[in-house]
Structure 1
Amino acid sequence: MGYNILVTGGAGYIGSILVPELLKSGHNVTVLDNFVFGQNSLIECCIYENFNVVKGDARDEDILKPLLQKPDYIIPLAALVGAPLCSRDKIGTVTTIRDAAASLVKLASKEQKIIIPTTNSGYGIGQKGVYCTEETPLKPISLYGKAKVEAEKIALDRGNAMSFRLATVFGMSPRMRIDLLVNDFTYRAVKDRFVVIFEGHFKRNYVHIRDVARAFIHAIDNFNIMKNEPYNVGLSDANLSKLELCIKIKEQVPDFVYLESPVGEDPDKRDYIVSNEKIEKTGFKPIYSLEMGIKELIKGYRIITNSKYGNV
């Protein structure tokens, strides 16, 4: 059965992979996006009768109201993402993430279901050797993390919703983000052959972008048994430090050199390991490994350069 689905920010990094998969699954998809990066990442979707696209701002309630007449599911992807971009536009970060979520909750009917992506960077700095679960207190450090945590609370407090606390996403997308950690380090390995690392012992979890899309489809198929809960979404065998990530990349780019700087610091201070057991118990398992993603990125970087692909 096909559902009516509204995806805000659907032409972004995740949406450009998710929307085609939703269409292939037979759903009717409307995308609201301001196309601020000049991307044409949904061109391939225009052939689908069940695809509609609206150019506009996800914060504009006059645009949202008519788009909220039909959807069974709402997926708010619209966001400013990445520490440099969020630092440059603090007001835009909060209004696009938290305030836009509040508008959706206010305008949507109680019967409409919301699947909201947040971030496991909300865990901030974890305890060494202790896995962060969905019960772990949220202590976000970055403005982005704080806004996402607030948006998650707004959605879950409303009910008939669920949230995905996404690990650091990697992999190729038509609306590429080279500035994400795995994507960035692999790009530097391919193009520059070296990288200087700040605070290389900091750990985080990772997940392939196509597994993120699969998680959303899994949530739609299993909403009634999963609703009103947050779920970590990541690779359980990929809780890695930056240095460990570089080792993985060097396995596929042998002449890659990485050095840890004794001075300097990373503006993104997150450091934690994450358990993904909760969503795995619902029957969802990632199928794209970190190694597969690095291999994919190496091929992709033979095609593109960093002249336009990034939020930095």
Structure 2
Amino acid sequence: MADSMNILVTGGAGYLGSIMVPALLDAGHRVTVLDSFLFRQVPLAHVCAHPNFDIVRGDARDEATLRPLVQSADAVIPLAALVGAPLCDADVLAATSTNRDAVLTLIRLLSRDQRIMMPVTNSGYGIGEQGRFCTEDTPLRPISLYGRTKVEAEQAVLERGNAISFRLATVFGMAPRMRVDLLVNDFVYRAVNDRAVVLFEPHFKRNYIHIRDVARAFLHGLANFDAMRDRPYNVGLSDANLSKWELCERIRAHLPAFAFLEAPIGEDPDKRDYIVSNERIEATGYKPAHGLDDGIRELVKGYRMLRNGVHGNV
């Protein structure tokens, strides 16, 4: 295990942070979260009693807010981001200033011996080549503004050095700050509540990873930082390079009433169609602990609690 460190997590009250922050605390680290609470939730309420936890309400783009927080940090995990192509396209300025420029500000404020570990999206691979795995050496061809801002931030962080980048597959699983719009989470929600989904681009393939395994990847990076530094790592399930259609078949194994069909009703703004190799991180001793079927079972239980009833009459 890594020695106890002071860790600053920007955007730590989001989907990833709501699982990662408690995991960092459990591992013995001291964690300060900076978050604007844009989504008006309290996903870290359960760790407020922890003596090694602190929270600051503020904007990760604001240098005056960042400067004093950065001074006492051994490592920074910049989770603050507008995540997903639709959200970024809806506010181009906020997406660029949060996803890229806030990271550039952090780099400027950090000393050379302070560490950065950041998540990026493997949608940066865009359209893959049929039958060929995307490795960390595969050229990045991001299509959306979201993909471009994350790729530019990653490039700056790795060029700065003393950093690790994790290129995350599509994340799934329950979290205190839940996101129902991610692909696996969305399809299971529809299977539970609608018992049906209409697919577009059903044979587009991508990779998947459980949210708790994302937290484990960051802990693994902290514990093995010197051996892993200054490289990007794909983080995904090597047995789950699946198309949307194949994903639905896996869900139907758990929920037999689930029906799905194909229709030309939309397109992925990131054109995500690729298969990913996770060999580099696996060679460092990291292995995911939560399979796709584990996540589906977990989500089915979670959706018995969660009702996205904001826009309904019943």
Residue 33 (str. 1) matches residue 35 (str. 2): yes
Runs of 4+ in 1 over 6 A off after TM superposition: none
**Match of 1:271, SS?**
coil
Contact 1:171 1:296 in 2 (8 A): yes
Report the alpha carbon displacement of residue 170 of structure 1 after superposing the two structures with TM.
Answer: 0.2
Equivalence for 1:127: 129
Shift of 1:262: 3.7
Q: Is 1:189 equivalent to 2:191 in the alignment?
A: yes
Residue type at the aligned position of 1:230: P
Q: Distance in 1 between matches of 2:98 and 2:267?
A: 28
2: CA distance, partners of 1:87 / 1:190: 30
State whether residues 141 and 270 of structure 1, in contact with CA within 8 Å, keep that contact through their aligned partners in structure 2: no
Contact 1:31/1:54, CA 8 A, preserved across alignment: yes
Q: Report the AA paired with residue 260 of structure 1.
A: E
Aligned match of 1:256 in 245, 255, 258?
A: 258
1:68-117 deviation per Cα after TM superposition (whole angstroms, max 9, x unaligned): 11111100000001222111111111110100110000001111000010
CA distance in 1, matches of 2:268, 2:96: 22
Q: CA deviation at 1:266?
A: 3.1
Amino acid in the other structure paired with 1:94: T
Structure 1: stretches of 5+ with no match in the other structure: none
Which residue pairs with 1:18 in the alignment? 20
Alignment correspondent of 1:67: 69
Corresponding residue for residue 279 of structure 1 = 281
For 1:54, give the aligned amino acid. V
1:208 partner letter = H
Structure 1 Cα separation of the partners of residues 154 and 223 of structure 2: 21
Match of residue 202, structure 2, among 200, 217, 221:
200
Alignment of 1:1-312 (within 5 A): 1-307=3-309
CA deviations 1:164-202 (Å, max 9, x no partner) are 000000000000000000000000000000000001010
Q: 1:304 to 1:128 in 2, by over 3 A?
A: same
Q: 3-state DSSP class of the match of 1:47?
A: coil
Matched residues in 2 for 1:290 and 1:189: separation?
A: 15
Identify the range of structure 1 (9-18 vs 257-266) with the bigger mean alpha-carbon deviation.
Answer: 257-266
- In the alignment, the residues of structure 2 paired with residue 247 and residue 302 of structure 1 have an alpha-carbon distance, to the nearest angstrom, of 21
CA shift, 1:142, in A, is 1.3
CA distance in 1, matches of 2:189, 2:110: 41
CA contact (8 A) 1:166 1:232 kept: yes
RMSD: 1.1
SS of the equivalent of 1:81 reads coil
| Distance across 2 between alignment mates of 1:32 and 1:262 | 42
Note if contact 2:168-2:234 (Cα within 8 Å) is conserved in structure 1: yes
Question: What amino acid is the match of 2:145?
Answer: L
**In structure 2, the residue corresponding to 1:115 is in which secondary structure?**
strand
Q: Which amino acid aligns with 1:32?
A: L
**CA distance in structure 1 between the partners assigned to 2:268 and 2:32 by the alignment:** 38
TM-score (structure 2 length as normaliser):
0.97
Amino acid at match of 1:67: L
